[in-house]
Amino acid sequence: MKKILIALLFPWVMIHSQQTEKEPLNIILMIGDGMGLSQITAGMYVNNNTSTLENFSVVGLSKTHAIKSLVTDSAASGTAMACGDKTYNGVVGVNYLNKNLKSILEICEENGYNTGLITTSSIVHATPASFYANVSSRKKYEDIAMQLSTSEVDYFIGGGKKHFNQREDGRNLIKEMKSFDMVKNLKGFQKSEADKIGLFTYKDEPPSLNQGRDPLLPEYLSATLEKFKNREKPFFVLVEGSQIDWGGHANDVDYITSEFIEFNNAIGVALNFLEENPNTLIVVTADHETGGLAIIKGKTKNFEIEAGFNTGGHSATMVPVFSHGKNASLFSGIYDNTQIFHKIKEAAGL
């Protein structure tokens, strides 16, 4: 009775209390390592002048520099995006004051989220590691593997098995990771009903698509989203197209475009999920550009391209940020890569 009276006298109070009961946000963060605007453009032309990124409603730009280096590496930039703080090149999950940082994945876990990591490199490589590890050097693969083995991550898919079971300290972390169902392939992943599942795709770094890796990134994401959908909690998942960067280092435009197209198809999977699950935010960005790539010649017939490179390393050019779905508008404008962390937190109300 009292409630009805309040509603009659102060209708805006009731409207407000309804609005604050919001559904938790699902977050799909997709990082194309080394995927600058030229990599996207090259991949789009080679893909018959089309990309799933054209469906995104909001585009922004991110400044990628590290704390003391204008040209970042994947560790500093991964840490900036995962943890919200600038740091030195080579450092993972630790800021410039040597303080261990908490990642957005870990914050999501603390707030009752399910979480996942899917990558086309090893799972201990700098980009995915930025979301669960704190180490002074990205090369400390055994330490990083140890930190993943005790992390709260629910699903992971990536290479680098040897860092877990062929270690200098003689330990077999795979045997120690009793909370995980360690599966052998995509089918095993799909079949498993465990709360935590790990899939090592390769013993070492996975090969490129051109050298025989199965183009399974879209399927891995699709299978992981299916798992999340069947659980009651919201989720955070990181998807990395790791080898766009390696194509850039090799100054090999076919390597770049083939890896981009697989990543592009995985973005399509995320967009389809968003259509059926509108309480989802997709953010697609890069940690930096690789190769100083420029498209300097080409033909509109079949969209053939000819590319030139300026470096075998990374460049300091800004990288695009594409966002779509709930609260995507937060990602418009020009900002530091650390804002990826802060904006995701804000979007999810964490």
d(CA 295, CA 202): 33
Q: Which does 242 bind (CB under 5 to 8 A by kind): Mg ion, Zn ion, none?
A: Mg ion
With CB under 5 A as the contact rule, the residue among 77, 242, 264, 337 that binds Mg ion is 242
Q: How many residues bind Zn ion (CB under 5 A)?
A: 1
CB of 24 to Zn ion, least distance (A): 34
> Is 30:241 a contact under the CB 8 Å cutoff?
yes
Provide Rg for the chain, Cα atoms: 21
Whether 74 is a known active-site residue: answer yes
The least CB distance from residue 287 to Mg ion, in Å, is 7
Give the list of residues 6+ apart from residue 172 with CB closer than 8 angstroms, or none: 164, 165
181 binds, among Mg ion, Zn ion, none (CB under 5 to 8 A by kind): none
The DSSP output letter for 215 is -
Check if the beta carbon of residue 240 is closer than 8 Å to that of residue 192. Answer: no
- Per CB under 5 A, 77 contacts Mg ion: no
Binding at 289: pick from Zn ion, Mg ion, none (beta carbon under 5-8 Å per type): none
Contact string (CB under 5 A) for Mg ion, positions 89-128, x = contact: --------------------------------------x-
Q: Which residues, in sequence order, are CB contacts of 111 under 8 Å at separation 6+?
A: 24, 350
Contact (Cβ atoms closer than 8 angstroms) between residue 247 and residue 35: no
Binding Zn ion (rule: CB under 5 A), the pick from 106, 154, 181, 245 is 245
Stretch that binds Zn ion, among 233-241, 245-253, 270-278, 316-324 (CB under 5 A): 245-253
What gap in Å lies between CA 346 and CA 350, rounded to an integer?
6
Number of chain residues interacting with Mg ion (CB under 5 A): 4
CB 61 within 8 A of CB 320: yes
Decide: is 74 part of the binding site for Mg ion (CB under 5 A).
yes
Judged by beta carbon distances under 5 to 8 A according to partner kind, the member of Zn ion, Mg ion, none in contact with residue 127 is: Mg ion
Q: Which position's Cβ is nearest Mg ion?
A: 127
Task: Convert residues 29-68 into a mask of x (bound to Mg ion by CB under 5 A) and - (unbound).
Answer: ----x-----------------------------------
Q: Pick the closer one to Mg ion by CB: 227 or 249.
A: 249
Q: How far is the CB of 81 from Mg ion (least distance, A)?
A: 11
Cβ-proximal residue to Zn ion, closest one: 245
142 interface partner picked from Zn ion, Mg ion, none, CB below 5 to 8 A per type: none
Site string for Zn ion, 204-243 (x = CB under 5 A): ----------------------------------------
For the stretch 160-169, what's the b/e string if a residue is b when 16 or more beta carbons lie within 10 angstroms of its beta carbon? bbbbbeeeee
Two tokens at 87?
């740091």
User: Measured at the alpha carbon of residue 94, what is the angle toward residues 90 and 97, in degrees to the nearest 5?
Assistant: 105
From the CB of residue 312, how many other CB atoms can be counted at a distance below 10 Å?
A: 12
Selecting among 38, 51, 74, 315, the annotated active-site residue is 74
Q: How many distinct helices (H) and strands (E) make up the chain?
A: 14, 14
Q: Give the Cα-Cα-Cα angle 70, 72, 76 (nearest 5 degrees).
A: 125
Q: Does 109 bind Zn ion (CB under 5 A)?
A: no
User: Any idea which residues carry the catalytic annotation?
Assistant: 74
Binding stretches for Zn ion (CB under 5 A): 245
Site residues, Mg ion (CB under 5 A): 33, 74, 127, 242
